[in-house]
């Protein structure tokens, strides 16, 4: 057994790799000409994957709006107890149908779930124990708080809390905070406030946020709904709405920084519906550099133009801005084509997958045209002008009400698309879409198996214990070859995804203290947990070993306080 540091693999290994190279096709660079492929997983999920969340039990919760009409799963009883008969009325009654399902990745099957108030256009965040806290929705669901705690045995279901929100939250966003299991919910249609779940005191209400008044474009459907929220590593909340952004100190209820307006015309938030991510945080700067990226959206006037059946071209531009420090400036670049209704997914290497959406129009019922069938891969660390790559095209349009999320095996699950108020499958430009797909990135090809870390295990207190912040822990995996000189360890917080925004999506590149490799191919790495809940709010993360750009299958790890 030999000892090497993670930051610099031994010169002997570098010499070995340079002199001997990789065989069995592995000498092909992963970034050259690799477009990935598509898999059709299910012909029908039963309900539209309008809202999507991966749980630590390796299942995916999906749901849509309860008023969308009959889904493919009929219930024996309504939520309040009365029997659902075979009468014409009950066959058409939405309350006699399930509007949520749980998809099991390993079996490729779904089971229906009961959800009793309308979660249409709601928000969500995972709590430290893996429970999905889900809030808001439409009409009777607008103030509701719901929980889904995954159990892995087909016995769990939605639970509705007796406590409610202070304000109606339709098209609001949620962010998990550093405080233990506390979430902030921001905005909503005709709601210019934010509030916390749970409340600290009995009389606590919502807090007015003038920024939401200032960014409201009432004639264009708001253009500040589903605001982009990102938790900075200093504990403050970055909020982007329409074209503007602020940094909010939630403890003091005070805006401490107003950022420059993103250059160019058009808008980025619903119904213009671009997307946003916080780029991976890195141990090499102690997670202090926080950079936000915003891509796509709709042209000025697109929402009202679509109502007149004029579909304006969307935005091609992306902006990146470091929100920490004193020099905050948007750096702009352009995607290969215009895009809106797009999802942005952080891949294990730290690249960004831009997927789903359309080229023209805006969000809203039947408001978009020219489906974006080709995903884009964005590599943040490449030189300007060489960061975008066009990937394999799909044949299934994913328009309004579509979603995507990263899976532990490295694939990207893609679901949804329903630009209509009900399920409509015929005689429309873009029918209701119930098929479930996976996009399979190039790094999963067989030619890279010899480079892929396998049989990853995490050694710590166990499933019911969190790894304390700043503490060391060990991971063990098998590698057919000696480690690449570019070996990284990433931790990924699974998001709640809806309406083009993956709430709470977060990736950390962890510090590796040491690597040991035995002669039989087993590798032992000593890693350091994130330093605090400011960097990584307590909860479950997907840990991945990335060897020269080729990721392992991820395993769940739990970070938190003692």
Distance CA 84, CA 92 (A): 10
What are 33's two structure tokens?
């000409």
CB 79 within 8 A of CB 114: yes
DSSP reduced 3-state for 494: coil
What are the structural domains, with CATH classification, of the chain? Answer: 451-560 (2.60.40.10)
- Only one residue has tokens 């080729």, namely 550
pLDDT for 80 equals 67
**Model-level pTM?**
0.92
pLDDT digits (tens, 9 = 90+) for 453-490: 999 999 876 556 899 999 999 999 999 888 777 899 99
Cβ neighbors of 321 (< 8 A, separation 6 or more) are 245, 259, 260, 262, 291, 292, 328, 329, 330, 331
Distances, alpha carbon 548 to alpha carbons 35, 71, 73, 542, in Å: 18, 45, 45, 19
Closest by CA position to 414, among listed 395, 388, 442, 428: 395
What are 327's two structure tokens?
């020099």
Phi, psi of 17 (to 5 degrees): -65, -40
Which residues, given as ranges, of the chain have pLDDT below 50? Answer: 1-32
CB 501 within 8 A of CB 494: no
Cβ neighbors of 380 (< 8 A, separation 6 or more) are 279, 280, 293, 320, 350, 351, 352, 387
Beta-bridge partners for 472: 528
pLDDT for 2 equals 37
pLDDT for 15 equals 28
CB 274 within 8 A of CB 268: yes
What is the SS3 assignment for 411-429? CEEEEECCCCCCCCCCCCC
pLDDT for 87 equals 85
CB 533 within 8 A of CB 205: no
CB 105 within 8 A of CB 60: yes
Phi, psi of 98 (to 5 degrees): -75, 140
């Amino acid at each position: 057994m030999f000892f090497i540091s993670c930051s610099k693999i031994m010169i002997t290994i570098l010499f070995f790799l340079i002199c001997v190279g990789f065989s069995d096709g592995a000498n092909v660079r992963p970034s050259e000409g690799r477009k990935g492929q598509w898999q059709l997983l299910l012909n029908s999920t039963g309900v539209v994957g309008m809202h999507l969340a991966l749980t630590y039990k390796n299942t995916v919760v999906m749901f849509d709006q309860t008023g969308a009409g009959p889904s493919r799963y009929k219930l024996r009883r309504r939520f309040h107890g009365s029997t659902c008969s075979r009468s014409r009325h009950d066959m058409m009654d939405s309350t006699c149908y399930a509007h949520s399902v749980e998809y099991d990745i390993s079996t490729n099957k779904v089971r229906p779930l009961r959800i009793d108030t309308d979660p249409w256009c709601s928000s969500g965040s995972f709590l430290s124990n893996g429970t999905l806290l889900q809030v808001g929705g439409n009409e009777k669901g607008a103030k509701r708080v719901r929980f889904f705690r995954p159990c892995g045995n087909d016995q769990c279901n939605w639970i509705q809390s007796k406590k409610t929100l202070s304000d109606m939250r339709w098209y609001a966003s949620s962010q998990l905070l550093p405080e233990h299991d506390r979430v902030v919910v921001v905005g909503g249609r005709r709601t210019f406030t934010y509030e916390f779940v749970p409340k600290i005191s009995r009389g606590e209400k919502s807090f007015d946020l003038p920024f939401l008044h200032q960014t409201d474009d009432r004639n264009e459907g708001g253009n500040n709904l589903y605001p982009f929220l990102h938790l900075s590593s200093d504990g403050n909340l970055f909020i982007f709405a329409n074209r503007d952004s602020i940094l909010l100190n939630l403890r003091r209820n005070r805006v401490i920084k107003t950022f420059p307006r993103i250059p160019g015309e058009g808008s980025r938030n619903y119904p213009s519906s671009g997307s946003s991510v916080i780029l991976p945080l890195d141990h090499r700067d102690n997670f202090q550099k926080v950079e936000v990226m915003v891509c796509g959206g709709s042209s000025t006037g697109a929402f009202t133009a679509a109502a007149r059946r004029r579909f304006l071209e969307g935005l091609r531009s992306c902006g990146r801005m470091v929100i920490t420090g004193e020099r905050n400036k948007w750096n702009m670049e352009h995607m290969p084509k215009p895009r809106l209704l797009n999802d942005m997914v952080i891949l294990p290497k730290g690249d960004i997958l831009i997927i789903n959406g359309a080229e023209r129009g805006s969000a809203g019922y039947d408001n978009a045209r020219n489906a974006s069938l080709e995903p884009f891969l964005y590599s943040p660390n490449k030189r300007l002008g060489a960061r975008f790559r066009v990937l394999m095209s799909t044949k299934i349009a994913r328009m309004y009400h579509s979603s995507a999320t990263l899976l532990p095996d490295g694939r990207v699950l893609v679901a949804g698309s329903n630009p209509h108020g009900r399920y409509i499958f015929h005689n429309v430009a873009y029918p209701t879409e119930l098929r479930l797909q996976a996009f399979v990135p190039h790094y999963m090809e067989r030619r890279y198996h010899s480079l892929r870390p396998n049989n990853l295990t995490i050694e710590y207190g166990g499933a019911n214990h969190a790894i304390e912040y700043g503490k060391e822990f060990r991971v063990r995996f098998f590698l057919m070859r000696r480690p690449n000189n570019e070996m990284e360890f990433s931790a990924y917080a699974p998001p709640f995804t809806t309406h083009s925004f993956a709430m709470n999506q977060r990736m950390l590149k962890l510090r590796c203290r040491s690597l040991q490799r035995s002669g039989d191919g087993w590798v032992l790495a000593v890693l350091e947990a994130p330093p605090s809940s400011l960097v990584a709010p307590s909860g479950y993360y997907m840990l991945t070993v990335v060897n020269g750009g080729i990721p392992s299958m991820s395993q769940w790890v739990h970070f938190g306080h003692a």
